[in-house]
Amino acid sequence: MTKLRTVFASAVAVLLAASLSPAQAAPAVPVKNVVLVHGGFVDGAGWRGVYDILKKDGFNVSIVQNPTISLAGDVAATREVVDAQGGPVILVGHSYGGVVITEAGTNPNVAGLVYITAFAPDKGESVNSLIANPPPGAPVPPILPPKNGYLYLDKAKFPASFAGDVDAKTAAFMADSQVPWGVEALGGQVTEPAWKSKPSWYLRVTDDRMIPLPAQQAMSKRAGSTIVEVAGSHAIYVSNPKAVAAIIEKAASGVK
């Protein structure tokens, strides 16, 4: 009788384990912390439209004011903000901010990465190496020669190259309020790409004249990102914050 009871108890345990299988587990709770990282020539203020949408939808949103002087400094600033969240984070980078999140995203608090028409480098790569050999006919960003270790875009050409679908008044303000981008930041090499160990999403922008679509396609495919593609300029986060917020919310619901 004791043997029969033991067999019966074992069978019940197997059935209970099957009933609690991952296929029937409760769906994961979406990540509620979002950290936004800006790119070169701009600051975090451009995220305002995206910030407002995410906040309205119940997300906790933080914006990194990375100095864009060196990659190491920007990664340190980003990790400090990520650590302050106290829980899982969706880490978002625009343009050069993609390099920053690729390096900073190995932080254990980072649950997923979102690239907004951004650089997504592999190990040993930098902005310099990724832009070194543009294909024939590709648009060339109007970057002026370095001055005292910093770069600027030609103000007259800024709107067409960086913010082609932003209203003229805002684009002119962005050109006049440029943040100097450190030459050292462009040369900063990634040591361990976070997209190799974390899920990623990529918003490809078809009319970008800073990071051409073919470059976006190659990087997003290599990273194995979930891809969304929209029309717009490099400043898509300013001109179409709804599209940017939508892919961030998709990532927040899609991480395991």
- SS3 assignment, position 144: coil
Q: What is the CATH number of the domain that holds 54?
A: 3.40.50.1820
In a domain, residue 103? The reply is yes
pTM listed for this prediction: 0.89
pLDDT of residue 28: 59
Residue 44 lies in a domain: yes
Domains held by the chain: number: 1
For residue 14, is it within any domain? no
Whether residue 18 lies inside any domain: the answer is: no
> 126 lies in a domain?
yes
The reported pLDDT for the residue numbered 10 is: 42
| pLDDT at residue 37, as a whole number | 98
The 3-state secondary structure of 7-76 reads HHHHHHHHHHHHHCCHHHCCCCCCCCEEEEECCCECCHHHHHHHHHHHHHCCCEEEEECCCCCCHHHHHH
pLDDT under 50: residue ranges of the chain? 1-27
- Indicate whether 224 belongs to any domain: yes
What pLDDT, on a 0 to 100 scale, did the predictor assign at position 184?
A: 97
Q: Is residue 104 part of a domain?
A: yes
Q: Give the C-alpha separation, 45 to 43, whole Å.
A: 6
**pLDDT in the model for residue 7:** 37
Measured distance CA(83)–CA(88) in Å, rounded: 10
List the beta bridge partners of residue 143. Answer: 153
**Contact residues for 243 (Cβ-Cβ < 8 A; gap 6+):** 203, 228, 230, 232, 236
Query: Is 195 inside any structural domain?
Result: yes
* pLDDT at residue number 30: 83
Range of the domain at 125: 30-254
pLDDT of residue 181: 97
pLDDT digits (tens, 9 = 90+) for 132-157: 888 788 898 999 999 999 999 999 99
Answer left, alpha or beta for residue 139, where phi above 0 means left and psi between -120 and 50 means alpha. beta
